[in-house]
Amino acid sequence: MSSVSQKTADASVAEVSYNEKQDVDSSSGAPAKSQPERLSRRAALSAYMTIAAAAFGLISDGYQNNLMTMSNVVFKKLYPKEYTPDVSTRVSNALLVGAVLGQISVGLLCDRIGRKAALVATTLLIIVGAIIGTAANGAHGSVQGMFWCLTVARGITGVGVGGEYPASSTSASEAANEKVLKHRGPVFIMVTNFVLSFGGPLAVSVFLIVLSAAGENHLSTVWRVCFGIGVLLPMTVFYFRMRMLTTQLFRKAAIKKHVPYWLVVKRYWRTMIGTCGAWFLYDFVTFPNGVFSGTIISSVIKNGDIKATAEWQLLLGAIALPGVFVGALLCNRLGRRNTMILGFSGYLVFGLIIGVAYERVTKIIPLFIIFYGLMQSFGNLGPGDMLGLVSAESYATPVRGTCYGLSAAIGKTGAAVGTQAFTPIQTNLGKKWTFIIAAICGVTGILVTYFFVPDMTGVDLADEDEKFLQYIKDNGWRGDVGDDDDAVADDLSSEEVAIEKA
């Protein structure tokens, strides 16, 4: 390990000498397709593996985020006395509390020890939490004991889900920067926010299939099967994560010891206000409206029929999903900041329409679902698509995971506050105020985005790395830069390492 400039020079020389190594065929003397060449192919494929791993991992997160949407309706039907608003809020918030812890801790972890180790750890946590949730039970058949067990399980799952945000998103943005720089934004959106948003319709579709198979007389079986399917989804990602290598940006620019956090704050304080503030506002609106949308729809449907509620919920998710694609199309054309402002404007417009005319709109259920879906679609189009992208692009590689994790954690804090306040707002002010407050958050989001969020459209992430490293060097920091040889060697087979050291 060496100084900033020396480490960069050494890395460049090592890379050149390594790329020039070739085995020679003993019979012809011609270069053979040997271990280094296979390693080169593996390294070339690794970026695509990393992008695919983000997609497979985050679809599992989207499923977990939306699992309680219909589960809340089922629990309310099965346990009308025991599943009080306080219990409902506690179980729903457990994932959020765990997510906040996961986003901060794994954000630091993926910067200090590497993206791959962090990704494997988060996947294991989701699997363990989902298994406990599926088997949740109380001592001597206690219903309250079961809900406490479910709360703990959702908390463990939340740590894994929260950790996925910085680990998957940072590695995906770095891999996309290597392979598809001009289309980094749309690719990033499709493997992050699209699959997260798709988790909503997926969770409801699974619920409808299981409900149709088991019947409404076996609701206990229905929710446990839905939780059990959440165990299978993260298992699909292990293959990709074991095949991926550390991204080139991280190998060249990582700072694993003596990170100058004060200089990070001095350089990025304005950006952090933007990403943290906008994410808080977005999750404050979107998460409780996702978790409790089933309850809202159930309240405006005659007799609160579970199957009808799920069908309307599926339509709601289907209307909200196209916003992701529109945001992906606009992020390069309009720029990140302007697209986010457009999305927050949708909260303002549709939040006011539904809130002001709530009594009349809810009498026409299809119209209510359309307006509700459009409000969520604009959320996906703007802050839903852009916040992860902006948070991954605006910070240098050495602190990308940490700053992304902090921004996402503040967002999940907003989600927890919104979820906690959702029921009191409905009880004390009326259901229409949940939408009016969404409109107020839309105005605030526009202002925060305009004044504090940078626009990194088309900028190579390596450029910001160079500027950041020069900045901390100019301010007196002297330390080691780059992923150490042992960490890189862990990603390679023993034969490949032997050839590289030869």
Among the ranges given (5-19, 391-405, 416-430), the one the predictor scored with the smallest mean pLDDT:
5-19
pLDDT averaged over every residue in the chain: 81
First to last CA, the chain: 19
* H helical segments located in 453-483: 461-474
Tokens encoding 467: 């500027």
Nearest residue to 291 (alpha-carbon basis) of 409, 154, 194: 154
Q: What residues does 24 pair with on adjacent strands?
A: 31
The residues near 299 (Cβ < 8 Å, ≥ 6 apart) are 431
Distance CA 389, CA 407 (A): 12
Helix 115-134 to helix 219-235 angle (10° resolution) is 160
pLDDT of residue 1: 45
Tokens encoding 246: 């550390």
Distance CA 403, CA 394 (A): 9
Question: Residue 427 in contact with residue 336, Cβ under 8 Å?
Answer: no
Per residue in 482-501, pLDDT (tens digit) is 775 444 444 444 444 444 44
Question: Residue 126 in contact with residue 232, Cβ under 8 Å?
Answer: no
Nearest residue to 321 (alpha-carbon basis) of 376, 382, 389, 388: 376
Among the ranges given (167-176, 187-196, 274-283, 298-307), the one the predictor scored with the smallest mean pLDDT:
298-307
Which domains does the chain possess?
A: 40-238+251-501 (1.20.1250.20)
Distance CA 190, CA 401 (A): 20
pTM over cut 0.75: yes
Distance CA 348, CA 438 (A): 7
Dihedral of the alpha carbons of 452, 453, 456, 462, in degrees to the nearest 10: 70
Per residue in 209-244, pLDDT (tens digit) is 998 888 888 888 988 999 999 888 888 777 777 777
Q: What residues does 31 pair with on adjacent strands?
A: 24
Q: With bands split at pLDDT 50, 70 and 90, how would you rate the model's confidence at 341?
A: very high
Tokens encoding 168: 């998957």
